[in-house]
Amino acid sequence: MGVRLGVLALQGDVSEHIQGFERALRVMGEADGAVIPVRKPRDLEGLHGLAIPGGESTTISRLIGKNGLFEPIAGFDGGIFATCAGMVLVADRVDDPRVRTLGLIDMAVQRNAFGRQRESFEADIEVRGLERPYHAYFIRAPVAREVGNSVEVLAEIPAGIVAVRKGQHMALSFHPELGGDPRIHVMFLEHLFTGK
């Protein structure tokens, strides 16, 4: 298949996302796949998918603008895999005016919905499309408070919606790159190439 994936490498857990997608490609038998860091618009050329990692959403938003990446990412033809701060950035509404969102998914997101770093937690959650629970890491995580009709909710906990999909894009409030379980990365890639 020659899968080419990028990870936005401006701030956040970039190397963990690269490793997570490399692991998923191995599981899928895609030995000729590649995962590269993305820092400039030209780095997006030829990519099938792009991960926007967790980090600090106001900082990543500012750096996207500074590096001339806002329009190229907003108009990217491939799928976007957004985690934590990435979920904030792909939304069309967020509770912080300092964040310039990409407007790719019709949802309203609340930043730091669980409080500060010390309120971070782990939980086994049910994810639509997975046969068994997924162990999720929530670190200063956001939640979606509402989503549009075209958005598929993949996971929800009492605090709010924590995983969604719209077309080729997937957004998660947790960090699938941290636990070593490749199932969500594989789910994103399979949907990207088969629509299932």
Query: What phi-psi label fits residue 124: left (phi over 0), alpha (psi between -120 and 50 degrees) or beta?
Result: beta
Q: Catalytic residue at 131? A: no
Alpha helices per DSSP H over 120-159: none
| 177 carries an active-site annotation | yes
Q: Are 182 and 90 in contact (CB under 8 A)?
A: no
Q: Which of left, alpha, beta for 14 (phi over 0: left; psi -120 to 50: alpha)?
A: alpha
Instruction: Name the catalytic one among 16, 17, 177, 185.
Output: 177
Alpha helices in 91-171 (DSSP H): none
Catalytic residue among 48, 169, 175, 185: 175
Output the CA–CA distances (angstroms, integers) from residue 184 to 90, 92, 115, 176, in the order listed: 18, 23, 25, 7
Catalytic residue among 48, 84, 169, 185: 84
Annotation marks residue 45 as catalytic: no
- The residues assigned a catalytic role are 84, 175, 177
